[in-house]
Copies of this chain bind each other. A is one copy, B any other.
């Protein structure tokens, strides 16, 4: 059996842990509907139909509400410019052979009029000896019609009172060589403010990825934190999710949608080639560091290959 680990090397659409426990309880439609305050059209809209990724089962209510709101914000701005999902049903929703681990993944590519390369969303759930683990990811990659940063947002909730949050606008250029780029997307947008606000909270501690490469990929305004509200801190965590985390995450998505997701830039041939090479390395290393290492042991090699194959299609590698 693979070892149970809660370390993360982020950023990745998946942060996978192995499980030694029986399959988690199935998530009934009624239970989902009961905790979902939003109409079906919003849950379904990102993939043009009812997508399992929009259901967010198993999540604590506040986590689920925030994810639905973030999807909704992205959809409102980008939805009309995205192509329908082409992800097959056995990747839209998948589970380990024993049913112990469950997940959903959806990917939508941008249309010709959009700088969006693709938007990847996923959730994962497994029951660990220490409790339920829920991971939700929103990853928006832009194409080479712009050099604007990509968006990453990931919640790794290992208990009702603790989680790890990664969120960043991933730079597509070496910021040391391009201070103007740093100024445009990070300084002028005041992106450090949400990070500073979060860092002030007593429950928040920095979280350092175990992968040096992943740390290198992050911008200087990246949020990589562990939030721990203590053993009986479930209601504190719920309040934070509906309060500070809600504000901060929505602000970051707003900045990305405003400054990046509709931008365009005429790049020179060399600049474009450099950008694509850098993007390619980030994609390759993400798969190598996280997916190839963790997905098979959680979902079996067969399921992992299927899921990774779909991601590779989106990544065009």
Contacts and interface: CB of A to CB of B under 8 A. Distances in A.
A192 B36 CA distance: 43
Where chain A touches its partner, the secondary structure class is helix
Contacts of A285: 179
A215 B182 CA distance: 11
Interface stretch (A59-67, A123-131, A142-150, A170-178): A170-178
A278 B206 contact: no
Contact of A278 (B176, B192, B220, B221): B176
Contacts of A175: 212-213, 216
With a 10 A CB-CB cut-off, give which of A179, A221, A277 has the most chain B CB atoms: A179
Given A176-B174, A176-B217, A212 B281 contact: no
A70 interface: no
24 contacts: A174-B174, A174-B177, A174-B278, A175-B212, A175-B213, A175-B216, A176-B213, A176-B216, A176-B281, A176-B282, A177-B274, A177-B277, A177-B281, A179-B213, A179-B281, A179-B285, A182-B216, A186-B212, A192-B212, A206-B206, A212-B220, A212-B221, A215-B220, A216-B219
